Structure 1
């Protein structure tokens, strides 16, 4: 039986509301931090938006990020597949004139052929063939993706299975898929920055928000392993894991 009061308090305080895709509860308080990438997805997106006449933001979450990229072109749409986020995104984006569409199938997007001259996609799945169908002939596709080697140390320390479904997902694979679907790669890069959790509560809060990382994770079931990670943090000051990120900018040919 664990009798560490600090550990129990940190675990107990993970029962906080989480909406959209907002981690400010642990980032703004300095409880979690990430090594910067050598690129900025937002800095790449802003000039593309200013030169677009119609755009789509795929996997908009709660619309927090997209809402900060104003001003927008005349036609702007956003998709979201996680049901709890859809209403959040609509409340955030519809007052800005953005149509929010709930989607369930990457292969069947409810848009006309060649409808968008800019498609943005940050950390969202996609079908190359469907992107090729809805993008205009002079359009651009910009995506930043989470690779299959992301956060493996979390699973290893918790002793929970790694989700092998995405182990193949990396820059080389994504480039090959896009090329096969009729795209030219204009820019791309892949990196493995670290992410640090400075207390066990921050890690648990994060895992609750991304259940796909460790689908079988349960605080009570995994408490002994969590306590071991807590011990590592107490000794070193943080628990460090490796992220896996890559971006691609492409156009149809």
Structure 2
């Protein structure tokens, strides 16, 4: 295995824009939920007339689903707040005539008309605002999403930051989000949860994922957390991958007629 310094430098220089995870190929693994979100998304897109994908990143997931769908919606819109991701989405989704709408960083407001989409989707939205989702989905329309669940990757986060407070474990809870959807006026049709094994095999993979998922350790830098990173590096060099667990939930809801 290359030195700590070589692996870290490579990870610090690697691109983290968009939602591609090619850098982790052969360096980390993560189980996938049994429901196969992209397949479900492709099925829904094939039957939609006007669809909206929230927080699309670089459009990677939506492009895969559109490529699988029997047909694409006559009108397709995506939102994205991070400028480099929005630029990637514009290029990647151009073959399907998708409109990319820039949203304000830190705001959940959607600059879109009321009741204008029969399908609203999201894969790992930043912070789903169910009141806004209810507003833009048409009566009888569907919200289909895969959300990040509670305490996702907390083993890694706590290896860097130390133990988190109990309040952190309450965020992104599937039942709480389902109840928030109901309170916004949506009818929850399906809710499924999964806890999925993650393994990291070298310190470069850890540094890269912490750079990409900036909300995990908001002030992350290698110098600030070098002792923790070196401890993880020593564990992996000894042949013991670092084990964590991601959590996900599938939420399908509809706006009543």
The TM-score normalised by the length of structure 1 is: 0.91
Alignment of structure 1 residues 121-200 onto 2, 5 Å: 121-124=122-125, 125-159=127-161, 162=164, 167-200=170-203
Q: Is the counterpart of residue 235 in structure 1 residue 249 in structure 2?
A: no
User: How many Å separate the matches in 1 of 2:33 and 2:7?
Assistant: 29
The TM-score normalised by the length of structure 2 is: 0.90
Give how far 1:205 is off.
Answer: 0.8
Cα 1:6/1:185, change in 2 over 3 Å: same
1:169-193 per-residue CA deviation (whole Å, 9 max, x = no partner) reads: 2110011001111111111111111
Give how far 1:150 is off.
Answer: 1.0
Partner residue of 2:31 out of 32, 35, 55: 35
User: How many Å separate the matches in 2 of 1:65 and 1:155?
Assistant: 25
Alignment of structure 1 residues 59-138 onto 2, 5 Å: 59-70=55-66, 71-104=71-104, 106-124=107-125, 125-138=127-140
User: How many Å separate the matches in 1 of 2:199 and 2:154?
Assistant: 13
User: How many Å separate the matches in 2 of 1:238 and 1:218?
Assistant: 22
Tell whether the 8 Å contact from 1:160 to 1:216 is kept in structure 2 after alignment: no
Q: Unaligned stretches of 5+ in structure 1?
A: none
User: How many Å separate the matches in 1 of 2:45 and 2:96?
Assistant: 15
Cα 1:38/1:69, change in 2 over 3 Å: closer
User: How many Å separate the matches in 1 of 2:5 and 2:159?
Assistant: 19
Q: Is the counterpart of residue 12 in structure 1 residue 13 in structure 2?
A: no
User: How many Å separate the matches in 1 of 2:241 and 2:86?
Assistant: 34
Tell whether the 8 Å contact from 1:160 to 1:214 is kept in structure 2 after alignment: no
Other-structure match for 2:217: 214
Cα 1:159/1:18, change in 2 over 3 Å: closer
Tell whether the 8 Å contact from 1:106 to 1:127 is kept in structure 2 after alignment: no
Tell whether the 8 Å contact from 2:150 to 2:174 is kept in structure 1 after alignment: no
Give how far 1:106 is off.
Answer: 4.9
User: How many Å separate the matches in 2 of 1:48 and 1:5?
Assistant: 45
1:37-89 per-residue CA deviation (whole Å, 9 max, x = no partner) reads: 22111111111111110100101101111112223110000000122211111
User: How many Å separate the matches in 2 of 1:193 and 1:113?
Assistant: 36
